[in-house]
Structure 1
Amino acid sequence: MKLINKKNKTYSQVFHVFTEEEWVKSGKNFNRNISNFFTGKKHEVFIHTHEEGIAYFIGLGKSTLQDFEIQQVAVKFSQTQKKNLHAVPTLVVADFMNEKQFEELVKGFLNGTYHYPFEKDHAFWNPKFELHFENLSQKKLDYIGQKTEALSSGQTACQEWLNKPANFKKPDTLNSYLKNLAKKYDLKYTVFNRKKCEELGLGAYLAVNQGSAYDAAFTILEYKTSAKNAKTFGLVGKCVLFDTGGISLKNPDNMHYMKSDMGGATAVIGTLIYTAEMQLPVNIIAVLPITDNAISENAFLPSDVITAYNGKTIEVLNTDAEGRMVLADALSYLAKNYKTDFLIDLATLTGSSVRMFGDTCGALFSNNEELKNLLIKTGDKTNQRLWGLPLWDIWKEDILSDVADLKNISMKPIGDCIIAAKFLEQFIEAHPKWAHLDIAGVAFGNVGYAKEKAATGFGVQLLTDLIENYH
């Protein structure tokens, strides 16, 4: 998609974008019959064909709408009108739109082209498609074009890897992709196999991996800027490629959705792509503890006592609480070996967060009020919302063990997402600015491009906006 600041005399395809209020003001300039079918309500689309071509009337709803709502409308328009759109120069008529609002519109057009498996077969990806918008200079349009394509690249990668069937994303497959990604964007790439993990003492991660038919792949990707005094973000993404629950086997109903248990990692991957594409003046250390949680004669067992990377011992009461095990080693490894200004982990971690919030928001835990508020504010801005929950020390009492330092679950049937966060806090090595995002309910769900649940792309816009505007 090319964004161009010019106006031809005629266009065979025009997008007229209106809020309800703008339509009341401007609707009188159009054919009266259009008013019988179009009012400007959110997601409303009216297609008007005439001798010169086709005009699409796109409704945004009330003028009080937030910027992300423009993106929502554009996503749905892109998805539902795919077969009708032509790859031709197209005029956008939206005189009320400012730079940010137009950016959200273009984001939505591009993000709405996604389907699995992804192919650039949408009109918006055709080189002949041009979006003409007079309200902004060519310089600003070029920048918006760069940003929106970079975001689309990151979000598409996030969704694509989360949607892949389990047999299409084995550890070696994903690591081959990450290695190529590192070459493309000049990232430092490090991976530890099982033998190296044993030497390093990554015992909590290895406990989960030991039942796998595939070698360990504890992976680190580093993006470095040349900018002076740049902030460093430490990102950890849970990367369990498929979660059977291990010996504590999950209910088989809907177990096929457990291909989505790497939603934290895919959000981090998408963020790295955007950051590298835009060459943001930040540093990122990303740790992806890649494994599956399988059942075999070597699988770890309930009652096992494991020694984690930081020396703390863990009594395993449930092997389906594997995510906090791999995250524990990833967090402590990152905290002990790198100096970061912020430490953020994302994970599709608990059913508890799903039962609490459904698909409305992720559960947020942080030991730093400033970071917590910043994440909530960014979530509201991007519509990738988070809600803060407590980390009171009283919750730690429920994970103290008789035979180890900690248990990996509480035996009480309450607050497991809080218990998991409290468990992870024991492995951040007293990092002063840490946040844990439990995104189990929002990373994979109902989407417009699929009949069943699929990847939402949650986390990419949240993290990229945070990093881009707070460095």
Structure 2
Amino acid sequence: MRLINKKNKSYTQIFHVFTEEEWIKTGKNFNKNISTFFTGKKNEVFIHTHEEGIAYFIGLGKSTLQNFEIQQVAVKFSQAHKKNLQAVPTLVVADFMNERQFEELVKGLLNGTYHYPFEKDHVFWNAKFELHFENLSQKKLDHISRKTEALSNGQTACQEWLNKPANFKKPDILSAYLKNFAKKHDLKYTVFNRRKCEELGLGAYLAVNQGSAYDAAFTIMEYRTTVKNAITFGLVGKCVLFDTGGVSLKNPDNMHYMKSDMGGATAVLGTLIYAAEMQLPVNIIAVLPITDNAVSEKAFLPSDVITAYNGKTIEVLNTDAEGRMVLADALSYLVKNYKTDFLIDLATLTGSSVRMFGDTCGALFSNSDELKDLLIKTGDKTNQRLWSLPLWDIWKDDIQSDVADLKNISMKPIGDCIVAAKFLEQFTEGHPKWAHLDIAGVAFGNVGYAKEKAATGFGVQLLADLIENYH
């Protein structure tokens, strides 16, 4: 999609974008038949054909709408009308739109092109498709074009890897992709196999990986800017490619959805893509502890006692609480080996967070008011919302063990997302600005492009906006 600051004498395709209030003011200038069917309500689309071409009237709803709502409308429009749209220069008529609002419109049009498996076969990726908008200078349009395409590339990668069937994303397949991505964008790429992990003492991660038929792939990716004294973000993404639950086997009814248990890692991957393509003036250290959680004669067992990277011992009560095991080593490894200003981990971690919030928001835990407030404000801005929950020490009592330093779950049937966060806190090594995001309910769910549950792309816009706009 090219964004152009010009207006031809005539267009065969036009997008008229209106809020309800704007339509009341200007709708009288159009054919009366249009007013009969179009009011500017949110997601309302009226298609008007005439001798010169075709016009799409797109409703945004009330003028008090948030910017992310413009993106939502554009996504739905892009998905619904892809078969009818033409690859021709197209005029956007939306005189009320400012730069940020137009950016959200373009984001939505591009993000709405996603389907699985993804191919750029949507008309918006056709070289002949141009979006003409007079309100902004060509310089600003060029910036929006670069930014929205980078974001779309990041979000698409996030959705694509989460949606892949389990046999299409084995550890070696994902590792090959990450290695090529790192080479393309000049990122430092490091991966530890099982033998190296044993040497380093990554015992909690290895406990999960030991049941796998595939070698360990504990992965570190480093994006570095040339800007001096830049902020450094440490990102950890849970990357369990498929979660059977291990010996504590999951109910098989919905086990096919467990290909989604790498939602934290895909959010981190999408953010790295955006940062690299935009050349953001920050540093990012990303740790992706790649493995599956399999059932085998070598799988770890309930009652095992494991020694984690930081030396703490963990009594395993449930092998289906594997996410916090791999995250424990990833967090402590990152903190002990890298200096970061902020430390954020993301994980499709607990059913508890799903039962609490459904698909409305992720659960947020942080030991820093600054980081917590930043994440909540950015979540509200991008509609990738988070709700803060406590990290009171009383929750630590529930994971005290008789035979180890910690248990990997509480035996109480309550508050598991809080218990999991409290468990992870023990592996942050006192990092002063840490946040844990449990995104189990929001990373994978009902979407407009698929009949079944599928990847939402949650986390990419949240992290990209946070990192890009932190000062």
TM-score, normalised by the number of residues in structure 2: 1.00
Partner of 1:285: helix, strand, or coil? strand
Partner of 1:36: helix, strand, or coil? helix
Where does structure 1 lack aligned partners over 5 or more consecutive residues?
Answer: none
CA shift digits 1:242-275 (9 cap, x unpaired): 0000000000011000000000000000000000
Partner of 1:254: helix, strand, or coil? helix
Match in the other structure for 2:119? 119
State yes or no: 1:404 paired with 2:404.
Answer: yes
Match in the other structure for 1:293? 293
Partner of 1:242: helix, strand, or coil? strand
CA shift digits 1:262-289 (9 cap, x unpaired): 0000000000000000000000000000
Partner of 1:344: helix, strand, or coil? strand
Equivalent AA in structure 1 for residue 12 of structure 2: S
Match in the other structure for 1:434? 434
Match in the other structure for 2:105? 105
Q: Distance in 2 between matches of 1:68 and 1:267?
A: 18
Q: Distance in 2 between matches of 1:447 and 1:162?
A: 13
Equivalent AA in structure 2 for residue 5 of structure 1: N
Match in the other structure for 1:203? 203
How far residue 71 of structure 1 moved from its aligned partner, in angstroms, is 0.1
Q: Distance in 2 between matches of 1:443 and 1:65?
A: 24
Equivalent AA in structure 2 for residue 434 of structure 1: W
Partner of 2:451: helix, strand, or coil? coil
Map 1:306-345 onto structure 2 (within 5 A): 306-345=306-345
State yes or no: 1:75 paired with 2:75.
Answer: yes
Equivalent AA in structure 1 for residue 459 of structure 2: G
State yes or no: 1:386 paired with 2:386.
Answer: yes
Match in the other structure for 1:414? 414
Equivalent AA in structure 2 for residue 237 of structure 1: G
How far residue 238 of structure 1 moved from its aligned partner, in angstroms, is 0.0
Partner of 1:69: helix, strand, or coil? helix
Partner of 2:178: helix, strand, or coil? helix
Q: Distance in 1 between matches of 2:300 and 2:444?
A: 27
Map 1:153-302 onto structure 2 (within 5 A): 153-302=153-302
Q: Distance in 2 between matches of 1:167 and 1:370?
A: 41
How far residue 63 of structure 1 moved from its aligned partner, in angstroms, is 0.1
CA shift digits 1:210-230 (9 cap, x unpaired): 000000000000000000110
Q: Percent identity?
A: 90
TM-score, normalised by the number of residues in structure 1: 1.00
How far residue 207 of structure 1 moved from its aligned partner, in angstroms, is 0.1
Q: Distance in 1 between matches of 2:113 and 2:60?
A: 19
Q: Distance in 1 between matches of 2:112 and 2:303?
A: 47
Match in the other structure for 1:444? 444
CA shift digits 1:353-375 (9 cap, x unpaired): 00000000000000001100110
Partner of 1:273: helix, strand, or coil? helix
Q: Distance in 1 between matches of 2:309 and 2:315?
A: 14
How many residue pairs were aligned?
Answer: 471
Q: Distance in 2 between matches of 1:284 and 1:227?
A: 13
Equivalent AA in structure 2 for residue 462 of structure 1: L
Match in the other structure for 2:362? 362
Match in the other structure for 2:66? 66
Runs of 4+ residues deviating >3 angstroms: none
CA shift digits 1:309-333 (9 cap, x unpaired): 0000000000000000000000000
Equivalent AA in structure 2 for residue 332 of structure 1: S
